[in-house]
Amino acid sequence: MTQFIRLFYILLSFSALALTARNAYAIDSQNLPDINPTYVSMKSIDPVRLVGYTVGDVIEREVILTVKAPYKLIETSLPIPGYEKRHKGQVIGIELKSIKHTKKVDDNSTTHHIKLAYQVFTNNIVAKNAALGPEYLNLVNLKNNQDIVKFRIPTVDIAISPIAIFGQVKIENNMSPFLGPLPLNHDKEESWLKLSLIFLILSALGLLYILGMRAWLPRMGGTFSKVYRALRKQEKSTQGLKESVALVHAGLSTTANFTVFSNNLEQFLALKPNFIGLKLELEQFFNLSRRINFEPKYLDPAANFDSDVNAQLWVIKFARRCRDCERGLSPEKLATPSMKAGL
Amino acid sequence: MSDRQLTDWRNHALNLESEVNKVVVGQQNPIRLITTSIFARGHVLLEGDVGVGKTTLLRAFTRGIGGGYQRIEGTIDLMPNDLVYHTYLGEDGKPHVSPGPLLMSGENLSVFFFNEINRARPQVHSLLLRVMAERSLSAFNTEHYFPHMIVFADRNQVEKEETFEIPSAARDRFMMEIPIVVPNDNDIMEALVFDTKFHNVDALVNNVKPDVLQFDELNAFSGVLQNSVDTSDTLKKYALNLWKATKAPLDYGVKVSGVDMNRLVLSGASPRGMSMMLRAARVNAWLNERTAVLPEDIHAVFHATVAHRLVFSPVYEMRRTEIAREMLNGIMNAVAAP
């Protein structure tokens, strides 16, 4: 029995020793001397946003560690995913979710790329501080196995936000003594904007039409429309009459696509039946042209103008009636041609 | 000359037309053109198929004009001297020389009718050139003048065997070339076939009142007529544009279907041709009781006075009549006045 108790104590002592040794290693990892900074250099890529994290968020940081010979990273000292972080014995609620480690070995140094992903497993009713890390890495001197040192990856401080505002908010207490900007009624401006846009579009269409057809309105680009406008601008004189007659001749020829004379008037009327209603006036026009251009002694008994100005007024009216015919309108019948008045 | 005399002569001219229209039916336009040519003192060439009445028409006019009338038939063995004289052995057994058709009527020759002119040789055409242009001839060491003479000629365009194409220089001497076509009117066609009065040409022509015109006063009156009918600046410009268009139709946008217009015209109307056109247009204006020439007067004579003067590229000569008609129509349609 005594022997059994002795054995029990021996086992108990060994167990205690084993636990002590394990604790001693963990303690050693933090209590190891720091590495001479000349042998190691670190660069970290930390999250840009340091606030506003809440439960479930994953925060990543990357550490690039270059260790110069003769030191070498003890890879078993890399942090283990799932390991709870504590601060002053309290679980801080930040857990290493995953780690990716790659290294590049050169002659005199080794570069380690360590990607750490932490996940938040805590929340609070108000914002609270937290930190990623620190992490302790152990390094060994390859020339001296007893020379084991540590390197501390510094922490990154973050703030964890609550999911919702805690408690009830009394609106009356939360009101500002200042009046905020009142929303303006923009109906009027919107109407003006719409009208302006419509006007702009119509103007643009009109401009296109002007540029395309050289006329302000549909049908104003017709041959006799142009002739009529040109005739109205002519000076009222003998020379103006001659030019007016020439303009009407040109209009007739353009309309017919051949030169119209009194001897092919029937051909013109057959081709342009819209003008049949003007047959009498066409004949009078050619008689007037005969007097103006070719035979001054000729007097048309049916169209004896008392002055060139009156004749010119008649030509203008005749051109307007030609324009009406061109537009498919029926010119009103002449009751009694009054040549003296030119009307 | 007073307006009354102009009117009197116009009545004579219209009377002559009327007389000829009685015996040659359905040819009002050629008859008007020939009348125009007589008063413009220009020679006339009739062109048309066989048996369409060319000779009858000219004979009828000849009777109406009065004066000396001579006629010769164009044949392949006709020589220039045949127009001037012929020799024969008389009853006395001695050789005799008689004046030929050109000399027989002396200065009173008013109409020299050359039938089937394109059957005569170029030598004969050559003689005719001078007679037509200068109305004179040198023979027997004497200069013979024919101041009142008008040459009427006809030719058959269809038949080409044993014929000689009239050169452009000879064509240019004719004031007008007038196409004679069979009338389309059924009544006229029926009359020409069944009416016995048309069967005897001599009797038919004798129906024309003789000497309607005084042939020896035509030259003087023609000069007066030409001076009495005005041409305005606008018309002069129009006529010049027409002339230019005959030389360069493409410049006026004139096109003829199936013809390369760049190659078509070798030579447009000649100055003589355009002057003859204006003479004829003046006569047309006078016949229509106008005191000045209108574009319509030019149109009335444009084809007849210009078409035969155009010189086309040889490749188009076979289609000359058709092309000339289309081109001149195109010119009249394209050139504006004013």
Cβ contacts of residue B151 below 8 Å, gap of 6+? B43, B44, B112, B113, B114, B128, B131, B132, B174
Average pLDDT over residues A235-254: 91
Q: What is the pLDDT of residue A26?
A: 46
Q: Collect all residues of chain A within an 8 Å Cβ-Cβ radius of residue B303.
A: none
- CB contact residues (below 8 A), chain A span 152-211, against chain B: none
Residue span of the structural domain in which B248 resides: 229-334
Q: What is the pLDDT of residue A297?
A: 84
Determine contact: B73 vs chain A, CB below 8 A: no
Interface test with A, best of B232, B235, B278 (most A CBs within 10 A): B232
User: What phi-psi label fits residue B203: left (phi over 0), alpha (psi between -120 and 50 degrees) or beta?
Assistant: alpha
How do beta strands B150-156 and B43-48 pair? Answer: parallel
Name the residue facing B232 among A250, A263, A294 (closest C-beta). Answer: A294
Question: C-alpha angle B221/B223/B19, rounded to 5°?
Answer: 40
State the count of interchain CB pairs (< 8 A) between A and B: 51
Write the CATH number for B96: 3.40.50.300
Residue B48 and residue B151 in one domain: yes
Residue B216 and residue B235 in one domain: no
Asked if A295 and B290 come within 8 Å (Cβ–Cβ), the reply is yes
Q: What is the pLDDT of residue A28?
A: 57
Q: Which chain A residue has the Cα nearest residue B236?
A: A294
Residue B160 and residue B308 in one domain: no
Residue B28 and residue B57 in one domain: yes
Tens-digit pLDDT profile for residues A214-241? 555 666 778 888 899 899 888 888 889 9
pLDDT at B39 over 90: yes
Residue B154 and residue B246 in one domain: no
Angle, helices B233-247 vs B295-306, to 10°: value is 30
Determine contact: B289 vs chain A, CB below 8 A: no
Q: What distance in Å separates the CA atoms of residue A126 and residue A132, rounded to the nearest whole number?
A: 19
Q: How many C-beta atoms surround the C-beta of residue A171 within 10 A?
A: 7
Residue B251 and residue B177 in one domain: no
Q: Which chain B residue has the Cα nearest residue A250?
A: B336
Instruction: Please identify, among B190, B222, B254, the residue that sits at the C-terminal boundary of a domain.
Output: B222
Average pLDDT over residues A86-111: 89
Unique residue bearing structure tokens 């390991």: A83
Q: What is the pLDDT of residue A89?
A: 80
Asked if A294 and B292 come within 8 Å (Cβ–Cβ), the reply is yes
Average pLDDT, chain B: 89
Q: How many C-beta atoms surround the C-beta of residue B192 within 10 A?
A: 16
Residue B320 and residue B209 in one domain: no
Interface test with B, best of A242, A286, A293 (most B CBs within 10 A): A293
ipTM for the whole complex: 0.82
The region of weakest confidence among A178-192, B71-85, B296-310, B324-338 is A178-192
Residue B103 and residue B147 in one domain: yes
* Terminal-to-terminal C-alpha distance of chain A: 153
pLDDT at B215 over 90: no
Asked if B333 and A259 come within 8 Å (Cβ–Cβ), the reply is yes
- CB contact residues (below 8 A), chain B span 234-273, against chain A: 234-235
Cα A284 → chain centroid = 67
Residue B285 and residue B211 in one domain: no
Tens-digit pLDDT profile for residues A152-195? 999 999 998 888 766 666 777 767 677 677 778 889 999 999 99
Asked if B337 and A259 come within 8 Å (Cβ–Cβ), the reply is yes
pLDDT at A11 over 60: no
Q: What distance in Å separates the CA atoms of residue A153 and residue A45, rounded to the nearest whole number?
A: 12
Q: Which chain B residue has the Cα nearest residue A251?
A: B336
Unique residue bearing structure tokens 């003008």: A275
Q: What is the pLDDT of residue A192?
A: 96
Higher pLDDT, B36 or B156: B36
Determine contact: A289 vs chain B, CB below 8 A: yes
What DSSP string runs through A163-179? Answer: SS--S---HHHH--SSP
Q: For the stretch B19-33, what's the b/e string if a residue is b when 16 or more beta carbons lie within 10 angstroms of its beta carbon?
A: bbbebbbbbeebbbb
Name the residue facing B235 among A245, A249, A294 (closest C-beta). Answer: A294
In terms of average pLDDT, the best of A14-23, A97-106, B49-58 is A97-106
Total structural domains within chain B: 2
Q: Collect all residues of chain A within an 8 Å Cβ-Cβ radius of residue B333.
A: 258-259
- Closest C-alpha to A311, from A238, A234, A228: A238
pLDDT at A14 over 60: no
Under 8 Å between Cβ of A281 and A321: yes
Determine contact: A263 vs chain B, CB below 8 A: yes
Tens-digit pLDDT profile for residues B243-292? 999 999 999 999 898 888 888 888 889 999 999 999 999 999 999 999 99
Name the residue facing A246 among B290, B293, B338 (closest C-beta). Answer: B338
Under 8 Å between Cβ of B309 and B168: yes
Q: What is the pLDDT of residue A342?
A: 41
Q: What is the pLDDT of residue A334?
A: 55
Peptide bond into A134 cis (omega under 30): yes
Q: Collect all residues of chain A within an 8 Å Cβ-Cβ radius of residue B232.
A: 293-296
pLDDT at A117 over 70: yes
Q: What is the pLDDT of residue A21?
A: 42
Determine contact: B290 vs chain A, CB below 8 A: yes
Q: Which chain B residue has the Cα nearest residue A256?
A: B333
Under 8 Å between Cβ of B22 and B207: yes
The length of chain B, given as a count of residues: 338
Residue B79 and residue B204 in one domain: yes
Q: Collect all residues of chain A within an 8 Å Cβ-Cβ radius of residue B237.
A: none
Q: What is the pLDDT of residue A2?
A: 55
> To the nearest whole percent, how much of chain A has pLDDT over 70?
82
Interface test with B, best of A247, A253, A271, A295 (most B CBs within 10 A): A295
Under 8 Å between Cβ of B235 and B299: no
Instruction: Please identify, among B222, B238, B262, the residue that sits at the C-terminal boundary of a domain.
Output: B222
Q: Collect all residues of chain B within an 8 Å Cβ-Cβ radius of residue A259.
A: 332-337
Asked if A261 and B299 come within 8 Å (Cβ–Cβ), the reply is yes
Name the residue facing B294 among A249, A253, A290 (closest C-beta). Answer: A290
**CA distance to partner chain B, nearest, from residue A190 (Å):** 58
Q: What is the pLDDT of residue A330?
A: 74
Angle, helices B3-23 vs B218-228, to 10°: value is 120
Q: What is the pLDDT of residue A221?
A: 75
Determine contact: A258 vs chain B, CB below 8 A: yes
Strand runs labelled E in A106-207: 109-120, 128-132, 135-141, 144-153, 156-160
Q: What is the pLDDT of residue A335?
A: 45
Q: What distance in Å separates the CA atoms of residue A202 and residue A218, rounded to the nearest whole number?
A: 14
Under 8 Å between Cβ of A85 and A58: no
Q: What is the pLDDT of residue A18?
A: 45
Instruction: Please identify, among B201, B222, B243, the residue that sits at the C-terminal boundary of a domain.
Output: B222
Q: Which chain B residue has the Cα nearest residue A252?
A: B336
Q: What is the pLDDT of residue A341?
A: 41
> To the nearest whole percent, how much of chain B has pLDDT over 90?
41
Residue B323 and residue B255 in one domain: yes
> To the nearest whole percent, how much of chain B has pLDDT over 70?
99
Q: Collect all residues of chain B within an 8 Å Cβ-Cβ radius of residue A238.
A: none
> To the nearest whole percent, how much of chain A has pLDDT over 90?
39
Write the CATH number for B286: 1.10.8.80
Residue B169 and residue B284 in one domain: no
**CA distance to partner chain B, nearest, from residue A279 (Å):** 18
Cα R_g (chain A), whole angstroms = 53
How do beta strands B150-156 and B109-115 pair? Answer: parallel
Q: What distance in Å separates the CA atoms of residue B297 and residue B287, rounded to the nearest whole number?
A: 10
